[in-house]
Amino acid sequence: MKCAIWCAPCTPSRYIKYLNPASWILWLDFDTALSEINTTYVFFAAKNCNFLHNFNMKTSLKLNNGSEMPMVGYGMWQSDTPEELESALNTALAVGYRHFDTAWGYRNEDVFGRVLKKWFAEGKVKREELFIVTKLPPTGNHPDRIELYLLDSLKALQLDYVDLYLIHNPATIKTQPDGFTPVRDANGRIVVDTSATLEQSWWKLEEQVTLGRCKAIGLSNFSPEQVIRICKCAKSIKPANHQVELNASYPRKELRKVCAANGVTVTAFAPLGSPGRKIYKGYTATGADSIVPIPPLLTDPVVTRIAGKHGKTPAQVLLRFLGQLDIITLAKSVNADRIKSNFALTGWELDSQDMADLDGLDLKVEGGTWGFDWKNALGGIEDHPEFQLAG
Catalytic residues: 106
| 3-state secondary structure at position 232 | helix
The H or E element spanning position 173 is: none
Q: Facing residues of 132 across strands?
A: 100
Residue 208 burial (CB < 10 Å; 0-12/13-18/19+)?
A: buried
Please give the angle made by the CA atoms of 337, 106 and 69, to the nearest 5 degrees: 65
Closest CA to 272 of 325, 336, 320: 320
- Cα angle 192, 197, 199 (rounded to 5 degrees) comes to 145
Listed residue (354, 370, 277) closest to 318, CA to CA: 354
Residue 145 in contact with residue 183, Cβ under 8 Å? no
State residue 250 phi and psi, 5-degree precision. -135, 70
- Nearest-angstrom CA–CA distance, 135 and 113: 15
- How far apart are the C-alpha atoms of 271 and 370, rounded to whole Å? 11
Q: Measured between alpha carbons, how far is 147 from 282 in angstroms, rounded to an integer?
A: 35
d(CA 189, CA 183): 8
What whole-number distance in Å separates Cα of residue 325 and Cα of residue 359? 11
